[in-house]
């Protein structure tokens, strides 16, 4: 029983972590039809920015509690700087090109960013362990969990909820849905599509960065930390159905729970359980769980 509870807890924490990252990915794909290979690099950027800003803050003996705010601040900054820079400076010249070409552009971007990060922060690891243990721990199922893990869950729920609400209830959100549904028609209707692209990409970037920033206190921030994340996020988004919000949520949950179950009951298969799930889902739901079936008029 305890073990089962542990599986749930670990799964939930891992899922929230995944969801925050996957959310940005699915958003960008849904709106811009770009499967962003550089998403992992934004995750890494977020982690590095957070690590150095919080590091600076703590080294100067400021209140550690504020470091949580700084984590998020760092991520938002990354989003606000990197997002527009890349969308305006590069991607917008690529719109209308084939999806695969855009995929490659982002792949090139990923290569470049890997080294840019190295040039800015070097190869030595960065640590900011304080925020992780600062809030203390609680015991669940005779296991100790830091409260920080629950912050992660909270952030995931918040982020998901916020995006959902914006899409459902604000005018801008409805317009965005229109853009998602049909770019041409939206253009014809006089919607400022390019602005939506800019905003979406910035938000997506910021979300990836937040994922990274919130992970920073729990890991050693090192080069290449974004690489593994990309394919994980892809898996989540594909399982859920590309561009689908609830899909990303469910995908993250499935991946998270399956992985933690594997770790607890069958550690040998951890390496490929995620891909097996992805394959299985695609076999039975060729377009993912939340795919909108489109009928072609002839």
169, 190, 267, 293: residue in contact with other proteins (rule CB under 8 A):
267
64, 93, 170, 172: residue in contact with other proteins (rule CB under 8 A):
93
- Residue 126, helix vs strand vs coil: strand
Residue 171 CB, nearest approach to other proteins (Å): 27
Residue 135 CB, nearest approach to other proteins (Å): 10
The two three-digit tokens of residue 172, written as one number: 């801008």
Distances (CA, A) of 267 to 11, 81, 116, 143, 272: 14, 41, 36, 19, 11
Q: Which stretch binds other proteins (CB under 8 A): 1-9, 76-84, 160-168, 195-203?
A: 1-9
219 binding other proteins? (CB under 8 A): yes
Q: Which of 45, 118, 54 is nearest to 82 (CA)?
A: 45
Give the number of other Cβ atoms within 10 Å of residue 181's Cβ: 11
For other proteins, the closer of residues 246 and 270 by Cβ is: 270
Which element (helix H / strand E) includes 145? strand 143-146
For the chain, the maximum distance between any two Cα atoms, rounded to a whole number of angstroms, is 68
For other proteins, the closer of residues 73 and 107 by Cβ is: 107
In the beta sheet, which residues pair with residue 140? 143
188, 268, 284, 294: residue in contact with other proteins (rule CB under 8 A):
268
Binding string, residues 112-131; x marks residues near other proteins by CB under 8 A? x-xxx-xx---xxx-x-x--
270 binding other proteins? (CB under 8 A): yes
151 binding other proteins? (CB under 8 A): no
Contacts of other proteins in 32-91 (CB under 8 A): 35, 90
For other proteins, the closer of residues 100 and 292 by Cβ is: 100
Share of the chain residues as helix, strand and coil, in percent rounded to the nearest 5: 75, 5, 20
Binding string, residues 152-191; x marks residues near other proteins by CB under 8 A? ----------------------------------------
- Residue 172, helix vs strand vs coil: helix
Q: Which stretch binds other proteins (CB under 8 A): 12-20, 58-66, 176-184, 197-205?
A: 12-20
Phi/psi for 219 (5° steps) reads: -130, 175
Distances (CA, A) of 66 to 53, 55, 62, 70, 72: 11, 12, 8, 6, 10
202, 272, 284, 292: residue in contact with other proteins (rule CB under 8 A):
272
Q: Which of 57, 58, 28 is nearest to 42 (CA)?
A: 28
133, 168, 192, 194: residue in contact with other proteins (rule CB under 8 A):
133
195 binding other proteins? (CB under 8 A): no
């Amino acid at each position: 029983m305890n073990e089962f509870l542990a599986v749930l807890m670990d799964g939930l924490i891992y899922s929230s972590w995944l969801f925050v990252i996957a959310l940005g990915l699915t958003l960008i794909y849904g709106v811009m039809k770009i499967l962003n290979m550089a998403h992992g690099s934004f995750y890494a950027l977020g982690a590095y920015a957070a690590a150095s800003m919080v590091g600076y803050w703590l080294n100067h003996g400021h209140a550690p509690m504020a470091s949580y705010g700084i984590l998020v601040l760092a991520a938002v900054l990354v989003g606000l700087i990197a997002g527009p820079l890349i969308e305006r400076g590069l991607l917008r010249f690529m719109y209308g090109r084939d999806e695969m070409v855009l995929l490659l552009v982002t792949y090139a971007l990923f290569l470049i960013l890997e080294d840019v990060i190295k040039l800015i922060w070097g190869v030595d690891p960065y640590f900011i362990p304080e925020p992780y243990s600062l809030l203390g721990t609680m015991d669940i199922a005779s296991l100790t969990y830091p409260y920080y893990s629950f912050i992660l869950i909270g952030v995931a729920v918040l982020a998901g909820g916020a995006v959902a609400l914006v899409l459902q209830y604000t005018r801008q959100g409805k317009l965005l849905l229109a853009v998602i549904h049909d770019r041409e028609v939206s253009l014809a209707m006089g919607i400022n599509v390019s602005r939506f692209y800019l905003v979406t990409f910035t938000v997506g970037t910021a979300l990836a960065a937040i994922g990274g920033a919130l992970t920073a206190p729990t890991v050693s921030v090192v080069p290449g930390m974004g690489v593994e994340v990309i394919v994980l996020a892809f898996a989540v988004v594909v399982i859920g159905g590309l561009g689908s919000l609830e899909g990303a949520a469910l995908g993250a949950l499935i991946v998270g729970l399956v992985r933690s179950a594997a770790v607890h009951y069958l550690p040998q298969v951890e390496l490929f359980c995620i891909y097996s799930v992805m394959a299985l889902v695609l076999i039975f739901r060729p377009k993912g769980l939340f795919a909108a079936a489109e009928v072609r008029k002839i």
